[in-house]
A and B are shown apart, each in its own frame.
Chain A
Amino acid sequence: MIKETDFIRLPILKEDHEPLSYEIKDIIYCFKDFRILGLYLQQINSIKYTKILPYTKIKNITEEGILIYSINDIVDVDEIAEIKDAINNKSVIGYEIYSNTGGIIGVVKDALLQIRSGKVLGFIMSEGLFDDLVNGYSFLPLVEGINFYEYKIMLNNEEQLKILPQQGGLKKMLGIDR
């Protein structure tokens, strides 16, 4: 498992671990089946020149960086139609989570992803400043039935029960979580 934020700024490495002059700028999601289509790359020391690395072309993901088979795996935005269509899909970070009655429950802080397939497993969510401080972030697993609207996630009562408390924050830090 890996978090979306762990990807950002990771360098791209060749098979022999030699770093390329690219780092990850953003993630391109496919919201239809909730998986990563590719990684949006930025050339180091440049803000203009950007390329795409399709997720299927990743050999391995390590703390060092992302290993690819060949430099040719890095392509232009226009080369893959699916990616071209999804390029403007916003990251889920910052999506607001609402109950069906319209009350706000929290905000998505990060997405948890399966390394091998790039599938979204769930979202790390904040349930508010106070609760974050005391209890830590919560986890919302991506299960069927969760409705996604424009920058919003809607949960019914049953889905709200699936939110897992993380038992972190001050409670864990001070050893009063049990």
Chain B
Amino acid sequence: MENSKAIQVISKSFKNLAENNGFTNILQFFMQLLIIVLLFFIIYFLVHIGNQHIDSKKRINIGKRQIVYFILSFILIIAIVVIFQSGSLMYEILSPFLFAIVLAYTLNPLVSYIEKKGIKRFWSVFIVYFVIATIIFIFSITLVPKMTFEVKKLLEALPKLGNESYGYIYNKYIKYNNSIENLPEEFNAVKEALKFNGNRLEDFILKIISSVTNLTLKFLSKIANIVLTPILAFYFLKDADKFKNMLILSIPRFLRKGVIDVAKDIDEVLGGFIRGQLIVAGIVGLLTTISLLILKVDFAVLVGMIAGIADIIPYFGPIVGIIPALVFASLGGVNKVIWVVVAFIIIQQVESAIISPKIISDKVGIHPIIVILSLIIAGKFFGLFGLLIAVPIAGVIKVVGKHFINYIAKF
């Protein structure tokens, strides 16, 4: 009796283990490993057989050295795969460091500029931080109360806006369904397909609410990262040379020169783009806010900020930026809408004709078609974040590709 119970427990444990994904993954991993080892043996024996039938000078030698290099490369690939497989966990751990690196990279030219004036690096970093803190402080005592007021007003206005939109959609829905009902019998199949499904709308709204809740929770959980990022960036900036040397020395010597050359080119493209684009976005945000304030559109500061951030995305950014402005302008009548459109067109023209060429000066140098393609691909895979990083990543790929082609062409 005791034995049968024990067997039951063991068999249950095995069942659980087998049903568990982790177990399947481990099994799959070992199977793949076994296949690779078998493949290697097959290649080794094929080479061995082939060597017996060709001239000794033309033989492929697989010695101790080649085997060691193969195993080392294999371990490296496995390590990379494992890191990528645990991507989200790695991202959570490393994200404050990544953001700190990006922040330090953006502020580094400013710190270096102050350092060149004869001020020690520590104090240069301190000055930059102090200036940024002052700007944030001024921003928080002047603009934040206004923005808070605007957000409060927006939250108060939302139910009204919601009711109005609901009434509008409901009227359209009645009209739409009536029109479908009036279609001839031959279109029955089309009727079914076109019939508006109320449940689907409910699901859609619920999905939006749940994703907004999740987003808020995620945001709160990342407060610690937000605090940690500037602290880490401070150290990265202070010891920038040390970190740079450490990075350079971690590259194998035979690759070092090539990697440094590529990195220099990437720095030129990326650095110019990021810093330039941030300045341009700031100017566009400011101009939008001022114009909306003049036009007395509600939530001007909020919309200005959205327009500024959206401006980082080429081509699609201005469209994203104008939508909230039009929504709030529509509350003030058609005239206001027209003036907002005019203001946006003027700002966009000024941005694309004067500000961007002056500041960014075609640093990335990518054809507009490639820019649009990269935006579509990155947007599809990584959403809004993808749209923001699409152009600089395309620039990096272009630089790496150029060096790779040059390297291959030398042979």
Residues of A within 8 A of B (CB): 96, 103-104, 106-107, 126-131, 134, 170, 174-176
Contact = CB atoms under 8 A, between A and B. Distances in A.
Nearest to A104: B245
Interface in B238-292: 245, 248-253, 256, 260
A130 B68 CA distance: 15
Nearest to A134: B252
Contact of A131 (B64, B245, B253, B260): B253
Contacts of A106: 249
Contact of B64 (A103, A104, A175): A175
Contact of A127 (B65, B72, B253, B260): B253
A130 B64 contact: no
A103 B253 contact: no
B245 A130 contact: no
Nearest to A129: B250
Nearest to B63: A176
B249 A103 contact: no
A128 B260 contact: no
A81 to B, nearest CB: 32
26 contacts: A96-B245, A103-B248, A103-B260, A104-B245, A104-B248, A104-B249, A106-B249, A107-B245, A107-B249, A126-B249, A127-B253, A128-B248, A128-B251, A128-B252, A128-B253, A128-B256, A129-B249, A130-B250, A130-B251, A130-B252, A130-B253, A170-B72, A174-B64, A174-B68, A175-B64, A176-B65
Interface of B: 64-65, 68, 72, 245, 248-253, 256, 260
Contacts of B250: 128-130
Contacts of A175: 64
A127 B249 contact: yes
A127 B245 CA distance: 11
Most buried by A among B64, B245, B260: B245
- The 4 lowest CB-CB distance pairs between A and B, nearest first, are A128-B249, A130-B252, A176-B65, A129-B250
Nearest to A173: B68
A29 B129 CA distance: 39
A134 B251 CA distance: 12
A170 B65 CA distance: 11
Given A127-B253, A129-B249, A170-B68, 16 more contacts: A103-B248, A104-B248, A106-B249, A107-B245, A128-B248, A128-B250, A128-B251, A128-B253, A129-B250, A130-B250, A130-B251, A130-B252, A131-B253, A134-B252, A174-B68, A176-B65
A174 B72 CA distance: 12
A176 B71 CA distance: 13
A65 to B, nearest CB: 35
B12 to A, nearest CB: 46
Contacts of B64: 174-176
A131 B252 contact: yes
Contacts of B68: 170, 174, 176
Contacts of A174: 64, 68
Nearest to B253: A131
Contacts of B249: 104, 106-107, 126-129
Contacts of B253: 127-128, 130-131
B116 to A, nearest CB: 16
A126 B248 CA distance: 12
Contacts of A131: 252-253
Contacts of B260: 103
B112 to A, nearest CB: 15
